Amino acid sequence: MRQLELLESQAAQFIGTDLYFDDEVERIRKCRRYVTGEQMRRFLLDFIRTQCPKSRLEENKGEELARLYPDESLRYLLSQHNEASAISKYFSPSSRGIDITFDLK
């Protein structure tokens, strides 16, 4: 009973938080303040350069797809996260890389 009373007393706070996030998401959408494909591309290139320098990203001008060839350190980082384990098979040492895109469409 005590836990129920505590939850009820905090419910207004949670509702206020939900409204805050709803307002924040709407503001971001209206101001178009979200991560662009080009920003993700630059982030990945910087990450590769600083954390996985033997990985490489091959891009052809005018083409939507690029190909990522991970090094051992990137494969190791991916294997450490459960969410990434599903894609880690694409990064096996024998793989020929994986196609990626930064196109938001």
Tell me whether residue 15 is in a domain. no
Tell me whether residue 63 is in a domain. yes
Alpha helices in 1-105, H assignment, sequence order: 2-31, 37-51, 72-79, 82-88
Which of the pair, 39 or 22, is modelled with greater confidence? Answer: 39
Tell me whether residue 19 is in a domain. no
Alpha-carbon gap, residue 59 to 1, rounded angstroms: 61
Tell me whether residue 72 is in a domain. yes
C-alpha distances (whole Å) from 85 to each of 10, 35, 67, 76, 91 are 38, 24, 19, 10, 10
Domain containing residue 63: 37-101
Tell me whether residue 22 is in a domain. no
Quote the number of domains for the chain: 1
Instruction: Read off the DSSP letter of residue 69.
Output: E
Tell me whether residue 20 is in a domain. no
- Which pLDDT value is given to residue 28? 74
Asked if the model's pLDDT at residue 4 lies above 90, the reply is: no
pLDDT level of residue 14 (50, 70, 90 thresholds):
low
Tell me whether residue 93 is in a domain. yes
pLDDT level of residue 71 (50, 70, 90 thresholds):
confident
- Span 45-74, mean pLDDT? 89
Global pTM?
0.59
